[in-house]
Amino acid sequence: MNNLNDKLNENENAIHQCEAKIHELKLGDFSERVGRISLMGTLFYLPTLAILFLVNTPGVILPVTTLGCSYGLGALTNAHLERKAKCKSRFRKVSKSKNESERLEEVLRLEMEIERLKAHSDVITKVRERLSKEDLMYSKLNKSKRFEIVRKREQMTEKELRDRINHLESELEKKLAELDSLVDEDTIRNKKTIGNDKLNMIFHSMIYSMVPLLLTFLTTFTYMIRPLTSFALVPAFSALGIGVCTFVGSMIYFNKKKNDQNKAIARINKDRKEDKRINLDFLISSLKANINNIYFSLQDYKKQLEIISKSKETVVSEPNMNFILDETEDFDLENGPKLSLK
């Protein structure tokens, strides 16, 4: 049980390390940077609108000017924060990528490692629960005098136990490697499905274009205080133009990201054997159950081997009573055989 707990803690620490590396790798992600700029630009929007309105900025150019100034302030603020946080140096410490495709490959490899560790931890957790239930049942039956507990492995010799343990450990290593391969295949397929989904790209592009579009239309409320004298349709066209440009730019970015991701997946597939089977979820679940049984049997054999080893160590050596028979020619009580105690 202690070995299983140590392995589980080791997997958790490895997962945290991979997640920390992914966080550092995303410092160079263009979409993450644009997201930070958009967030800060939105926060600056209302103060910028109030200042431009007070300085009598023409209403025709007020929507575009307010959006440009607020997002410009957001970009400057983000650049200052990135420089203060040393994002570039932190990114270079964990990444050897020369372009976006290589950066995505590094992220994907770490995500695959996380999924493998999670699969292993899931199996170990279930084995630990199963062993706990068995120990609890054993203690209950052992306290009761109505039952006699007989271990199936008691008749096995130490050599047989060691041979069986070596065989199970070899089998476990093969099954874990097979599980890693299936989990990698499942992770890559999910990544490819999401990245190549055109409806998903359109949906997210619409979401991204709605933010500047709504902010631009928010400026039109100032026309209730200071109505436009002419060119009343210019703000509406500028707002629509900003929305369309954001949508088109988002689609171009997502299409480029899809191509970069497919290149990264192609490089990863060169180092592994692809699995063409369809029902991966069922195969992974069945393999986890098989590994669970191997772990359980392995722990049972090791427990019996430990019992044998402890029994050998705790054997108390009794003093040897060696009787030496001194033979004589005649057998009688006085001159016959004598017993000397050593």
Per-residue pLDDT of the chain (342 residues; tens, 9 = 90+): 678 888 899 999 999 999 999 999 998 888 889 999 999 999 999 999 999 988 888 888 888 899 999 999 999 999 999 999 999 899 999 998 899 999 999 999 999 999 999 999 999 999 888 888 877 877 777 776 676 666 666 677 888 888 888 999 999 999 999 999 999 999 999 999 888 888 989 999 999 888 888 888 888 788 777 777 666 677 778 888 888 999 999 999 999 999 999 999 999 999 888 888 888 999 999 999 999 999 888 888 888 888 777 777 665 444 454 444 444 444 454 555 544 443
Query: For residues 127 and 275, is the Cβ–Cβ distance under 8 A?
Result: no
State the Cα–Cα distance between residues 248 and 77, nearest whole angstrom: 26
The pair of structure tokens assigned to 40 is: 């800060």
pLDDT score, position 224:
76
Say if 326 falls within a structural domain.
no
Q: Quickly tell me which residue has 């160590």 as its tokens.
A: 313
Residues 6 or more apart in contact with residue 124 via CB below 8 angstroms: 4, 7, 8, 11, 295
DSSP state of 316: P
Q: β-strands 338-341, 323-326: how paired? A: antiparallel
Q: Which domain holds residue 216?
A: 2-132+158-313
- How many structural domains is the chain composed of? 1
For 20, the enclosing helix (H) or strand (E) is: helix 2-25
Q: 331: helix, coil or strand?
A: coil
Say if 319 falls within a structural domain.
no
The pair of structure tokens assigned to 127 is: 């084995």
| pTM, rounded to two decimals | 0.79
Task: Name all contacts of 315-318 with Cβ < 8 Å and 24+ positions apart.
Answer: none
pLDDT score, position 323:
43
The pair of structure tokens assigned to 94 is: 């964990």
What dihedral angle (degrees, nearest 10) is formed by the CA atoms of 165, 169, 171, 174?
Answer: -170
**C-alpha angle 32/33/38, rounded to 5°?**
95
> Which residues, in sequence order, are bridge partners of residue 326?
338
The pair of structure tokens assigned to 85 is: 């946080």
Query: For residues 60 and 234, is the Cβ–Cβ distance under 8 A?
Result: yes
Say if 141 falls within a structural domain.
no
pLDDT score, position 314:
67
Say if 21 falls within a structural domain.
yes
- b/e string for 225-247 if b means 16 or more Cβ within 10 A? eeebeeeeebbeebbeebbeebb
Say if 302 falls within a structural domain.
yes
Say if 323 falls within a structural domain.
no
Say if 335 falls within a structural domain.
no
> Which residues, in sequence order, are bridge partners of residue 341?
323
pLDDT score, position 4:
81
Say if 124 falls within a structural domain.
yes
Query: For residues 261 and 105, is the Cβ–Cβ distance under 8 A?
Result: no
Tell which residue, 246, 169, 177, 259, has the closest CA to residue 209. Answer: 246
pLDDT score, position 147:
65
Neighbours of 114 (CB within 10 A): 20
Query: For residues 243 and 207, is the Cβ–Cβ distance under 8 A?
Result: no
Helices and strands counted in the chain (H then E): 9, 2
